[in-house]
Amino acid sequence: MKSFPPAKIRNVALVGHGGAGKTSLAEALLFCAGAISRMGRVEDGTTTTDFDPEEVRRHLSLSLSLAPFEHDGFKINLLDAPGYADFVGDMHTALRVADLAVLVVSAVEGVEVQTEAAWRLASELGLPRMFFVNKLDRERASFDRTLAQLQERFGAGVAPLELPIGEEAGFRGIADLLTDTAVLYAGAGATPTIAEIPEDMAAREHEVRDHLVEGIVVADDDLMMRYLDGDSITPKELEDTLARGVAAASVFPVACGSATKLIGIDRLAQFIVEVGPSPLDRPPVRVEAPGGATEVAPDPSGQPLALVYRTVADAYVGKVSFLKVLSGTIRPDTTLTNPRTHADEKLHNLFTMRGKEQDPLSELPAGDIGAVAKLSDTLTGDTLAPKGTPVVVTPPEPLTPVLTVAIRPKSKGDEDKLMTSLHRLQDEDQTLHVRRDDETHQTLLSGMGDTHLSIVTERLLRKFGVEVLTDDVKVAYRETITTSADAEGKYKKQTGGHGQFGVAFLKVEPMDRGGGFEFVDKIVGGAIPRQFIPAVEKGVMETMATAGVFGYPVVDVRVTVFDGKFHPVDSSEMSFKMAGSLGFKDAMAKAGPVLLEPISVLEVTVPIAYQGDVMGDLNSRRGRVQGTEVAGLGEQMVTALVPTSEILRYAIDLRSLTGGRGRFSVRHDHYDVLPAHLVDKVAKATAE
């Protein structure tokens, strides 16, 4: 593929709810542009951008794909993002790399949850947006209903550029409001014909067009005066003014069509190049430099600077790093430095990817997107800069995983291989977190939902040959005491030679929650020699750390050693360590031991309509609502203290409760006493 200047580049993210037809739309755009010779189908697993075995089998986009093509002298870099909530991380990546978001909406289902999520994020980023209403050829499809939903949810800036001609199976063309003409499609692959607006919709088309023109010219004083004076405004003038409104994220055009019937697809590509912003129309990128934050504009003649936005392990070429060039022009064999590692990286062969197919590039100028293989020490999110120029692109806030499972290899010999494989998958997917819990001895895998984690386990087997089993996450309970108690710890052992002898009298007392541990030495008169007192403390601490009465670590206890006995020959550090351990176990059993459970702060953001249901659900989980506050337009945030054991799978439950419209964050807050009626249940589970 040849090189294009920034003004001729369009970086476009296809986002929206799963099933709206994003992948089919990408396939249709590629086909109409001649980038592929035949149309693949999601149902057959033959599309360009869904090529992973898991995607083919599930008929579902699971990861971000790049699919560039040329149209009318422009290069359009399509970023096809998954629409399923579990893979929201890739949607975030696409929107941060793109210069325009095309929100694909089904004319049958209308505005759905991930449409709203994509809009919310694009709005936060200040990203230009437009809509494509798809599937107008389907039964129960309604453009008017969908447009009304778009305008109701996203405001008056939503402006239709087209109207459909025909309904459902009779959908055969579009009315172009900018040119005031009809574009009719005789069949898939046939050249569309330009005609007059059909008489039965002429009145409505003129009404909607007048409203559109008024909305466009109001942004330009000269055009407004001419319009009020009755002058005719040309389509080119309307396009130019509309393009400025799109770039400013104040106007959000709506196009329409059918991806599978190839209706309106050529017009969408034309709209993208005519009214979509180029990298030059977007604000400079903010970077951190030694002298402080600065901004970098997409100048092809500037210093080369690139952001690695995605990393993929390819079975044939190894690690592939996808990058967006922010400044300068990168050519094969360019050497840049990774400021994070201070390592030099030589970018050997540059190429772009169309799905899984590579297309070599002679250069990548500012604003363009491409890929390079086998970077040795560069990860997703890293910046590549000239040597001696430690410039770093300001990273976004990382997404917090919402669901955790415990995993273990099916074959016991695969422990090391499992961790190595998981870390390689983490390089590809930054929403994936892996950690080892030393207390519960579980390997914990955290992600964005159950489907996400299921896909990860499938990829572990397919890519690395590691089959894993999943378990429930063990809750890190604690134990403490409620009253004081004394006990004697005595360790006596006779052998053929020297024996073991140590006696320590201990007193245990409860401390305030969070007090930790305190050891008090009140030995007088040499009842225990000074050199053995630390051994008593060590025995107590090791016992507290391993297991109390219920089998969990002990906290918030003060232990006082106040008397003891020793033998001048048989006493040793080991004997007093054992005496401390035995005395502590005995004293704790007498001191009213209780189980403590971890309590989390849960912040749940939901539409107001779901607030009551969410609060009722939290109460059923033994949660204590702390308060509510307005979180945004039509949303409330509910804050509650909830036992951690009750929300281990809250991501799944909240999605079901709110139809996917709820989101939450959670963090550990404190420990509290487990209700007595649950102690036996927890103790039984521990024993098993």
Residue 454's pLDDT band (boundaries 50, 70, 90)? Answer: very high
Q: What is the CATH number of the domain that holds 176?
A: 3.40.50.300
User: What torsion, rounded to 10 degrees, do the Cα atoms 373, 378, 384, 389 define?
Assistant: -140
Residues 484 and 612 in one domain: no
Residues 315 and 234 in one domain: no
Count CB atoms within 10 A of the CB of residue 327.
25
Sign of the dihedral through C-alpha 654, 655, 659, 661: positive
Residues 333 and 187 in one domain: no
Distances (CA, A) of 460 to 53, 58, 78, 453: 13, 17, 28, 11
pLDDT at 223: 85
Residues 535 and 459 in one domain: no
Q: Is residue 438 part of a domain?
A: yes
Helix-, strand-, coil-residue percentages of the chain, each rounded to 5: 30, 35, 35
pLDDT above 90: residue 617: yes
Q: Is residue 286 part of a domain?
A: no
Q: What is the CATH number of the domain that holds 379?
A: 2.40.30.10
* Region of residue 191 (left: phi > 0; alpha: psi -120 to 50; beta: else): beta
Distances (CA, A) of 123 to 33, 118, 204, 646: 30, 8, 31, 34
Helix axes 533-546, 573-590, angle to 10 degrees: 50
Which of 591, 616, 647 represents a domain boundary (last residue)? Answer: 591
Q: What is the CATH number of the domain that holds 613?
A: 3.30.70.240
Span 407-431, pLDDT tens digits: 999 988 888 889 989 988 888 888 9
Distances (CA, A) of 229 to 223, 226, 315: 10, 5, 65
pLDDT at 395: 82
350: containing domain: 295-393
Q: What is the DSSP letter of 99?
A: S
Q: Is residue 398 part of a domain?
A: no
CA–CA dist 357, 47 (Å, integer): 12
What percent of the chain has a predicted confidence (pLDDT) above 70? 98
Cα-only R_g, the chain: 32
Residues 502 and 622 in one domain: no
pLDDT at 316: 65
Count CB atoms within 10 A of the CB of residue 355.
19
pLDDT above 80: residue 680: yes
Which of 471, 505, 524 represents a domain boundary (last residue)? Answer: 471
Instruction: List the helix and strand counts (H, then E) for the chain.
Output: 16, 37
Residues 372 and 239 in one domain: no
Residue 317's pLDDT band (boundaries 50, 70, 90)? Answer: low
- Is residue 596 within 8 A of residue 555, CB to CB? The reply is yes
Residues 325 and 366 in one domain: yes
* Region of residue 448 (left: phi > 0; alpha: psi -120 to 50; beta: else): alpha
Residue 496's pLDDT band (boundaries 50, 70, 90)? Answer: low
Q: Which long-range contacts (CB under 8 A, 24 or more apart) does 200-209 make?
A: 201/163, 201/165, 201/175, 204/163, 205/163, 205/175, 205/177, 205/180, 208/160, 208/163, 208/177, 209/177, 209/180
Residues 153 and 260 in one domain: yes
Span 245-282, pLDDT tens digits: 999 999 999 999 999 999 999 999 999 999 999 999 99
Q: Is residue 421 part of a domain?
A: yes
Residues 114 and 245 in one domain: yes
pLDDT at 188: 64
Q: What is the CATH number of the domain that holds 426?
A: 3.30.70.870
Q: Is residue 218 part of a domain?
A: yes
Q: Is residue 83 part of a domain?
A: yes
Distances (CA, A) of 285 to 99, 294, 302, 325: 12, 8, 14, 11
- Is residue 674 within 8 A of residue 596, CB to CB? The reply is yes
Out of 72-86, 224-238, 648-662, pick the least confident.
224-238
pLDDT above 90: residue 685: no
Q: State the chain's mean pLDDT as an integer.
A: 92
Out of 77-91, 410-424, 506-520, 594-608, pick the least confident.
410-424
Q: Is 182 helix (H, G, I), strand (E, B) or coil?
A: strand
Q: Is residue 119 part of a domain?
A: yes
Residue 84: φ, ψ to 5°: -85, 140
Q: How many domains does one find in the chain? A: 5
pLDDT at 291: 79
Residues 130 and 14 in one domain: yes
Residues 559 and 487 in one domain: yes
Average pLDDT over residues 287-294: 85
Span 391-410, pLDDT tens digits: 999 888 888 899 999 999 99
Determine the Cα angle at 286 with ends 280 and 287, to 5°. Answer: 125
Q: What is the CATH number of the domain that holds 573?
A: 3.30.230.10
pLDDT at 488: 96
pLDDT at 688: 60
Q: What is the pTM of this model?
A: 0.87
Which of 236, 255, 281 represents a domain boundary (last residue)? Answer: 281
Q: Is residue 290 part of a domain?
A: no
Nearest CA to 107 out of 77, 76, 142 is that of: 142
pLDDT at 198: 93
Average pLDDT over residues 328-347: 93
- Is residue 175 within 8 A of residue 201, CB to CB? The reply is yes
Q: Is 333 helix (H, G, I), strand (E, B) or coil?
A: coil
pLDDT at 222: 84
Residue 508's pLDDT band (boundaries 50, 70, 90)? Answer: very high
Nearest CA to 295 out of 307, 282, 286, 304 is that of: 286
Residues 227 and 317 in one domain: no
Average pLDDT over residues 68-88: 95
CA–CA dist 668, 641 (Å, integer): 10
Nearest CA to 492 out of 433, 576, 420 is that of: 576
CA–CA dist 131, 264 (Å, integer): 13
Residue 469's pLDDT band (boundaries 50, 70, 90)? Answer: very high
Sign of the dihedral through C-alpha 519, 523, 527, 532: positive
